[in-house]
Chain A
Amino acid sequence: MGEQRNPASSAEPVAMNGGQALVKALELEGVEVIFGLPGGCILPVYDPILDSPIRHILVRHEQGAGHMAEGYAHATGRPGVAMVTSGPAATNIVTPLCDAFMDSIPMVVITGQVATAAIGTDAFQECDTIGITRSVTKHNELVTRAQDIPLAVRQAFHLATTGRPGPVLLDIPKDIVDPQHPNSAMEWRWPTDAEVAASLPGYRPTTKGHPRKIREAAQLIADARRPVLYVGGGVLKARGAEALRELAELANLPVVTTLMARGAFPDDHELCLGMPGMHGNYTAVTAMQEADLLIALGSRFDDRVTGKLDGFAPDAKIIHIDIDPAELGKVRRPDVPIVGDARLVTVELIAALRDIGAEAFADRTPWRQTLSGWRERYPLTYEQSEPGELLKPQFVLEQLRDRSPEDTIVAPGVGQHQMWASQYWTFRHPYTWINSGGLGTMGFAVPAAIGAKAGMPARTVWAVDGDGCFQMTAQELVTAATERIPVKIAILNNAYLGMVRQWQEMFYEERYSEVYLSPDLPDYVKWAEAMGCVGLRVESPEEVGPAIDKANSINDRPVVLEFRTDSSEKVFPMVPPGRTNSQIIVGPDDAGEEVVQ
């Protein structure tokens, strides 16, 4: 909330209508792009958009607008903005709201609503948007007076971007923005920071860690013989990657980065163990199991990370740092809870550790040696395909990784391809991995990649998608082609809902129920071309590299590469559902007995 961009605050009152005020408020909040689709109730707001410097990207489905706003927010660190009409448009954007809520993505969604006098009458395209979205937003508000619009917008951006970030929805009845209606008349006034704060008496996020807790945590870290820094998405939200690296290097702390934190710590760093969890690598999973101290930094002990909870990290003391007090003790009781911003607390921890002095830290050489031994013994592996066989998805991802710029942004859908992308990519920079972690939203990749590219036009953006996911939101490539947003899509087409197929193979005695999709229907190349993209089909290993190079050289339109991949390939390692992390299955020939030595 910057007073500096507050040019109108001291000026004489200016008469406006609510629609103009809404667009002006968005401009003053620094919004450069809105993802949206107009309709009856939001129409009056779309008129002043014609006169605004804000870029509007016209989506083909409102779900696309929401995921684009998420992708934009994740890539740029600025709140994503989506605007849609009432009724079905509002319900269509519920999934992205829930996705952003689960993954703490700052987003402001504006929905149209029927006129205040019609609310509650089951009017055309009326729905109870506030009621429907209450449990999937950080906050939502029905704005009932044009005069309240500037404050509501300031509150929305303040709430979305501070504390634990999240989506905020403003529901705007038509009459308060419609210049034809007297209810839209208002006098422009831009509220000050102090007025915004005073208008939210119940909202005071804690950002600085408690000094005594910081000292206790530093002492635990100094004394630990088998510590692991368990890093979650909160570090990225707090822009804390640099501080994290300093902390890890200062205290010689091995780091695991969860699915939401990929890129927060460089994968090629000697202290990086990679991703933990259900499909984490052996070393990351087992390091957490065997640790004597877990430093949870902006992570939330998700069930996909802990496996069966009562067998998770049995010997570890827990330091849990999170900006959301409700996360501390929600799943696992911490020995040292610290409420605060992940970056600020990290900086405070670094200072406290310096006070203790590196010479007083416990010897971690044996622990580091154990970890290197595991890494050598249990690397990620897969078998290369024989000539004439379908492509191995892991091979495709390795080629994509090696042939794309180092700072490429990767946006996957949800399923096997997402796990392989997370495993086989080498993340070296924060904000290069944009995925749907908490909600697991199939169809996330294409619109999220478009949003990321809209926010970071100079970067290469690859959506890594499955064939099942692609079919859910592919129409947004029409948006990308029309708006000249040249994203690249790699479809790993294994003709199945692959992750479901894997579970049916492993846990339902190979009884495959409703998971087959067909490799040829639809024809992805023709579909891509019909949407204004370049489409290429890749079937043999020697075609993979050249096709990727060609895609990387095209920058005037979206490209879709369809890779025909082996449907029998499964994601390993895997901690089977309901098992502890000690029962990790490292590969297809492993029975998953406890292998810790």
Chain B
Amino acid sequence: MNRSHQPARHHLLSVLVENKAGVLARVASLFARRGYNIYSLAVAPTDDERLSRITIVADADSAPLEQIVKQLHKLVNVIKISELDPFDAVEQELMLCTVNADAATRTQVLGLCDVFGARIIDVGHNELTVSLCDVPARLDDLEDLLAPFGLALVQRSGRVALPRLDRSSALG
């Protein structure tokens, strides 16, 4: 894993797999074995309990996308792989961060959070824990803006994504 949120060149893969023990390990060990780098990974069951969806952001420089997809397809438990063009996908990521906010700075921090539509989910004497679910670039921005106040903890989920819907037919 790499701390950089927005790799210069990345592939965004949405992988539908059987919801079985060990499938994530198979996918992860394939990436390790073939020398492909993973930036972020998000896994959860789908509405069909037999299936899970793994959203992988992979480093485009470590291997050609075609090889990654073909090797993934060879895993028996992998059912479908969609490559999502970042310009043609809707992406969301969740960030939780604990930021220093004492009496002197609290108003400024709250103001920033308000601008971003972030929620305050925990309040301490000198700290706030903030939650923001948005596109990864907006998470980067809020993180940058909160950093001068002092970020105690930052946890990001890795992105999940789906293809952008086709709107042309509605217009025609």
A residues adjacent to B (C-beta < 8 A):
130-131, 134-135, 138-139, 142, 159, 200-203, 324-326, 329-330
Contact = CB atoms under 8 A, between A and B. Distances in A.
Interface stretch (B22-30, B109-117, B142-150): B22-30
Interface string B9-41: 000000001100110011001100100000000
B79 A326 contact: no
A202 B26 contact: no
Interface in B94-140: none
B154 interface: no
Given A138-B76, A325-B70, A330-B67, 14 more contacts: A134-B29, A135-B30, A139-B76, A201-B18, A201-B79, A202-B73, A202-B75, A202-B78, A326-B70, A326-B73, A326-B74, A329-B64, A329-B67, A330-B70
Residue among A134, A326, A330 with max Cβ neighbours from chain B (10 Å): A326
A97 to B, nearest CB: 14
A202 B29 contact: no
13 contacts: A134-B25, A134-B26, A139-B76, A142-B22, A159-B76, A200-B76, A202-B73, A202-B76, A202-B77, A325-B73, A329-B64, A329-B66, A330-B67
Nearest to B33: A135
Given A201-B18, A202-B78, A202-B79, A326 B67 contact: yes
A203 B76 contact: yes
A131 B29 CA distance: 9
A138 B30 CA distance: 12
B46 interface: no
A203 B75 CA distance: 8
B6 interface: no
B82 interface: no
Interface string B55-98: 00000000010110011011111111000000000000000000
Contacts of A142: 21-22
Interface residues of B, number: 22
A131 B73 CA distance: 19
Nearest to B51: A201
A475 B70 CA distance: 41
B22 A324 contact: no
B161 to A, nearest CB: 21
A596 to B, nearest CB: 32
Nearest to A164: B74
Nearest to A155: B76
Nearest to B32: A135
A325 B66 CA distance: 10
B32 to A, nearest CB: 9
Contacts of A201: 18, 79
A135 B29 contact: yes
Nearest to B70: A326
Residue among B33, B74, B79 with max Cβ neighbours from chain A (10 Å): B74
A326 B77 contact: no
A202 B18 contact: yes
B22 A130 contact: yes
A135 B29 CA distance: 7
Contacts of B74: 138, 324, 326
A142 B21 CA distance: 9
Nearest to B75: A202
Contacts of B29: 134-135
Contacts of B33: 135
Contacts of B75: 202
Contacts of B77: 202
Contacts of A159: 76
A135 B25 CA distance: 11
A168 to B, nearest CB: 9
A127 to B, nearest CB: 15
Contacts of B71: 326
Contacts of A325: 70, 73
Nearest to B20: A141
A324 B70 CA distance: 9
